[in-house]
Chain A
């Protein structure tokens, strides 16, 4: 779906030190759910912006569904294939009424009015916001606004959706609403998802986690394999879920537990087994 080949990026060509991306290769498969982690300034946001041609790499090439993002004649095809949702829900809304917001992209693409109507209704339904079609976004919660932003991207009928820290400014309820919506899109529609996030629990639900550090890819594996390396993750300025840390601490004290635990369910099962086994031997 997305293919980044040896890309570099700098905002300032003169200063080689200031390269934000320092040569990285990344291939994102169609239908996959990839989480990108990294501390602030690791280059993850910049990377995301090269995926739909908002930023063009200083060196190397990014292909979106086979199209080179440098190809100006294809820029609208690229942007409607790889839609993008941003961090601040307030700053990405153009219209003062929800349904007009969702209609914005297809209107730009010159889609027929009746078809726009159909897409708007369908996309609002998908993110579960149909009842707010006529509301003003300023009266919605953060989570609702981000769902509208997702619907507004879906209205382009993209194959891939890139989300740049979509939950950073939301409360826990809003966060879980947005994550649920994203997961559903990936599962039921086979939509390719690239989720950039600071929240480890969100990365834990992806199929694949890419960890960025100083403009390079530091780790790239399944969530359980990534988070089981507790010390390395912390060294990179990141965190692991509390249960993973607990298992890590227990293992350090000589208790034998599987190292790839990242959810409460897994941890619960593993500890319960330990405790039950003890009583059985009794």
Chain B
């Protein structure tokens, strides 16, 4: 379980460009959760997630992960980074090794694991992101855009973190690449019920497809935190802070405004087609 208490982070404190990026934020994330963090650019999402693996130290407040205070300067950094994996935006820009294998092995090597253990982890994490074994001996720079992205994600996965955080994992990919990554994340979540996955996203469609819970940030604060259906049901509030809702949700809310009796928490095509089919058939049969 992750427990965030009164977390505040101020950029360049005391300088001309001082900015409160995260403002007294408190919340809890249960173990095994699949949480989407949404909010427009500058709402504090990226700053917030960098606290989970101690890349940033809070100005105030603390974060406990399974009872360990990761914001305490005395906590061993390696221990934190082993447990909390963070995949940055466009992670393929950080690939550097001669082979994909070596790049994925970078994390486990830093953890000073045995060679056989490293090999095991490299192979299993490559498999988890759908990279075939013959790609492992290639240079990462020969891979396609989508493959590079997946190799970079495998590079964090290979550290076997308890908490996996991804900053906009599908940014800049084409629809196929997007669906592949989303599919792998979903499988990862199903196969590792104890792994907590957090991802930042601007795509409401992605959030709708994957997340169990959604945390909405606005101006460094938490605007909403609830199950995906609870959050999308409040499309008015989301729009007020400048966020979109999935097209399907928007459609449903427009129909509700017209006086049609539909539940407000519809956000996937699959579920929507079920509901609308019944609704239309009912109307036709009356």
Contacts and interface: CB of A to CB of B under 8 A. Distances in A.
**A and B from one complex:** yes
Interface of A: 39-41, 141-142, 168-169, 171-174, 198, 200, 237-239, 241-243, 245-246, 249-250, 253, 255, 264, 267-268, 271-272, 274-275, 277-279, 281-282
B247 A274 contact: no
13 contacts: A39-B175, A40-B174, A169-B172, A171-B41, A171-B202, A237-B175, A243-B247, A246-B251, A249-B270, A271-B255, A275-B280, A278-B280, A278-B284
A41 B144 contact: yes
B242 A245 contact: no
Given A40-B177, A141-B41, A237-B174, A172 B202 contact: yes
A40 B273 contact: no
Contacts, number: 105
Interface string B175-211: 1111100000000000000000000001001000000
Contact of B171 (A169, A174, A275): A169
Given A141-B41, A246-B273, A264-B251, 18 more contacts: A40-B173, A168-B172, A169-B171, A171-B40, A198-B174, A238-B174, A239-B175, A242-B246, A243-B248, A250-B276, A250-B277, A253-B277, A255-B277, A264-B254, A268-B255, A272-B255, A277-B284, A279-B286
Q: Give the interface SS of chain B, mostly helix, strand, loop or mixed.
A: helix
A234 to B, nearest CB: 9
4 interchain residue pairs of minimum CB distance: A278-B283, A249-B273, A237-B176, A239-B175
B144 A242 contact: no
A169 B89 CA distance: 10
Contacts of B2: none
A12 to B, nearest CB: 15
B146 interface: yes
Contacts of B173: 40, 198
B263 to A, nearest CB: 15
B145 interface: yes
Nearest to A237: B176
A198 B171 CA distance: 11
Interface of B: 40-41, 144-146, 171-179, 202, 205, 242-244, 246-248, 250-251, 254-255, 258, 260, 269-270, 272-273, 276-277, 279-286
Nearest to B266: A246
Contacts of B280: 250, 255, 271, 274-275, 278
A207 B63 CA distance: 52
A40 B282 contact: no
A242 B270 CA distance: 10
A274 B176 CA distance: 33
B256 to A, nearest CB: 11
Contact of A246 (B242, B276, B284): B276
Contact of B247 (A141, A237, A264, A277): A264
Contacts of B176: 39-40, 237-238
A271 B276 contact: yes
A97 B203 CA distance: 32
Contacts of A277: 283-284
B255 A278 contact: no
A203 B178 CA distance: 18
B273 A253 contact: yes
A268 B251 contact: yes
Nearest to A174: B41
B144 A246 contact: no
Nearest to B285: A278
Given A141-B41, A173-B41, A281-B286, A242 B277 contact: no
